[in-house]
Amino acid sequence: MKVIINPKYNHLEESIRQIPDLFEGQGRVLYARRNLIKEMVLEDSLLINVKRYGIPGLINRIAYSFFRKPKGERAFVYPQILLQKGFETPEPIAYIEFRKSGLIEYSYFVSMQCPYQRNFYEFGNADPTSDECADVIQAFACYTASLHENGILHRDYSPGNILFDKVGDSYHFSLVDLNRMTFGEVSVEVGCANFARLWGQKQFFVQLAKAYAAARHWDEAYCVERVLFYRKVFWSRYQKRHELKFHLEL
């Protein structure tokens, strides 16, 4: 068993090493598909999030065992980069990995639990002209522009991976599921394409593109056209294979 622990939590090493043995029988299930996510309590009543990654197919098992960092290990490393740059994400606690005959099997990413309760699924059929929605769009556009200007690109910028709440007079955002990240310059094309997976009506994206363009000092009309283009490309393909849970206007 390979265990990597955030030095801040070295005093919890014994409890962390017990997580795989306790995982099946304890905790509250938050997400259950190929990967399983649970909310658990560590010693000292510490509320944590544990994601168990399913055993990959053979090709990916070989790749993650010898050529690439496994998803869980990347999910442990990347949050530290965001936190160092001042962006919120649940603090990583540990990464645990099991292997058999040299090939990766189950792995676990352990983090603090995010306190924010809202995510971007709620905007699927929302009225973007409502005061609150408009405020969220403005704040989120500026937040995303700041991410991009700091060379941070979340390559799975989807509704469930962006958590937020209003804290005082402003909206705070936190990114989760960080195993797919790119760090470096974010161009206008890449930046506009980054919004494609989000839910929302067409006008939602028009307002989002305008606010994003203003925050990055880019041409508004061009950003609107590009954001809508990449959104149409993604959802035109997606709806052919999946049932949609919101009204899609292309």
Strand partners, 104: 99
State whether the Cα torsion 48-54-55-61 is positive or negative.
negative
Provide the pLDDT for residue 48.
97
Domain residue ranges of the chain, discontinuous segments joined by +: 2-112, 118-241
Q: Write out the DSSP string of 178-212.
A: TTSEEES---HHHHHHTTTT----HHHHHHHHHHH
* Residues 6+ positions from 131 with CB-CB distance below 8 Å: none
Provide the pLDDT for residue 33.
85
Q: What CATH number belongs to 2-112?
A: 3.30.200
d(CA 110, CA 113): 9
Q: Confidence class of residue 97 from pLDDT cuts 50, 70 and 90?
A: very high
User: Matching CATH topology for 2-112 and 118-241?
Assistant: no
Provide the pLDDT for residue 43.
84
pLDDT in tens, 170-212: 999 999 999 999 999 999 999 999 999 999 999 999 999 999 9
pLDDT in tens, 1-19: 999 999 999 999 999 999 9
End-to-end, the C-alpha distance of the chain in Å comes to: 49
Q: Phi first, then psi: what are they for 35, rounded to 5°? A: -100, 150
Provide the pLDDT for residue 13.
96
199 in Cβ contact with 124 (< 8 Å): yes
| CA 191 to centroid of chain Cα atoms | 16
* Residues 6+ positions from 207 with CB-CB distance below 8 Å: 128, 134, 137, 138
195 in Cβ contact with 231 (< 8 Å): yes
Structure tokens at 198: 């989000």
pLDDT above 90 as % of the chain: 96
pLDDT above 70 as % of the chain: 100
Average pLDDT, the chain: 96
pLDDT at 157 over 90: yes
d(CA 84, CA 63): 29
Predicted structure pTM score: 0.93
The CATH number of 118-241 is which of 3.30.420, 1.10.1060, 1.10.510, 3.40.50?
1.10.510
Residue bearing the bigger pLDDT, 142 or 31: 142
Query: 114, 107, 110, 93: which is closest to 10 by C-alpha?
Result: 93
Length of the chain: 250
Provide the pLDDT for residue 213.
99
Q: Confidence class of residue 136 from pLDDT cuts 50, 70 and 90?
A: very high
